[in-house]
Amino acid sequence: MAAKPSPAQPAKSTSGLAQALQPYVTGGSAAITASCVIHPIDLTKVRLQLVGESLAAGATRPSAVAVVSKIVAEEGFAGLYSGLSAAVMRQAVYGTARLGLHREFSNYLKKQRGGEATLPVHLSVAASMSSGAIASLIGNPFDVSLVRMQADTMRPKAERRGYTSVFNALSRIVKDEGIARLWRGCLPNVLRAMAMNVGMMASYDQAKGFFNKTVGPGVTANLLSAGAAGFMCAFLSLPFDLIKTRLQSMRIDPATGKMPYTGVLDCAAQVARKEGPLAFWTGFGAFYGRSAPHAMIILLTMEQFNTMYSSVFNTTTR
C-alpha cells in the first residue's frame, strides 16, 4: 500500500516590515563589516591629509608606509584602530542610510519605468547622489567625532582632546562648542558623499554591465567592477574628503586666536595656494587602497547578508 503523501507545509508569510527593512539591515551590516576591515587604511589616509598643514614650505610629504610605521612605533598596533567606535557608529547611521535609501530610490524609479531591470545612467546617478546627500547629513556628527579621534594623537599631548569613545566625543563637542559644531564640514561632506555614491553605486552598475559582457557573469566580473568603482569613487570624492577632514579637525590657532579656515572656499584656496592643486589628491593611493576593498567588501557581503536575511524572514531581494 502506497504511503500517503505528507500534507504540504504552509508557506511562511512575509512580514511587510521585514521586507521594508531589508535594504537597510543588509546594507548597514555590510558597511560596518567593511569599515572594520579597512579602518587602518582610513586612519592612514586621514593622517596623510592632515600632515600637510604642519609641513614647512618645500618639505617632503611622508609616504603612507612612513605614516603607518610612525603610528605603530608611537602608539602600537592598537593605534591603527584609533577611532574605531566612531567609525562603526558612523557606518551604522551613514552606511545604513546611504545603501538603504539608494535601493529604495532605485526600486522606485524602476517601478515608475515599468519595472525595468537596469536604470539609465542619469537616473542611477540621481539615485546615488540623493541617497548619499541625505545619509551624509544624518551621519555628519559621527564623522566629526571620527576625524577628531583619528587625528588626536598627531597633536602635542597638551593640545589633545582625549576623547575616550564616540559618545564621549559627541557629548563634549555639544557641551564645549555647541550642537551646531557637529555639522562642521557638512557641505564638503555632502559633496563627498554624493561623489562617493556615484563612484561606488552608479559606476559599479555600469562597470558590471560591461564586464558581464566581456568576461561573463561571476566573481571575476564582480571583482573587476568593484575595482573600477573604487577608482572612480576615490578620484571623484577625494578633494571633498580632504577639505572635510581639514575643516572637521581644525581648532583655534593659539598665535592668532582664529580658526585656520573660514569655510569651504577658503580651505580650498589655501590648500591650492600653499600646497598646490595636486594636494587635493593627497593620499590617493591610501584612499584607493581603502575605496576599492571597501567597495568590494560592501558589494560582496551585501549579497550574502541578503541571502541570509531572505532565508530567515522569507523576503525577496529587490
The answer to whether position 246 is within a domain reads yes
Spatial neighbors of 103 by CB under 8 A, at least 6 apart, are 23, 27, 318
Structural domain tally of the chain? 1
The answer to whether position 314 is within a domain reads no
The answer to whether position 260 is within a domain reads yes
3 state DSSP class of 218: coil
The answer to whether position 5 is within a domain reads no
The answer to whether position 123 is within a domain reads yes
- pLDDT of 9 reads 47
- pLDDT of 10 reads 45
Helix (H) or strand (E) holding 240: helix 219-249
More confident residue, 252 or 7: 252
C-alpha 268/C-alpha 283 separation (Å) is: 16
pTM of the model: 0.77
- pLDDT of 47 reads 86
The answer to whether position 317 is within a domain reads no
Least confident piece of the model among 139-153, 232-246, 280-294: 280-294
Domain that includes residue 280, residue range: 19-54+61-309
The answer to whether position 115 is within a domain reads yes
Question: Dihedral, CA atoms, 178, 183, 184, 186, nearest 10 degrees?
Answer: -170
For residue 74, give the CATH number of its domain: 1.50.40.10
Query: For residue 58, how far is the Cα from the chain centroid?
Result: 32
Whether the predicted pLDDT of 35 surpasses 90: yes
- pLDDT of 245 reads 83
Model confidence at 6, pLDDT cuts 50, 70, 90, reads low
The answer to whether position 207 is within a domain reads yes
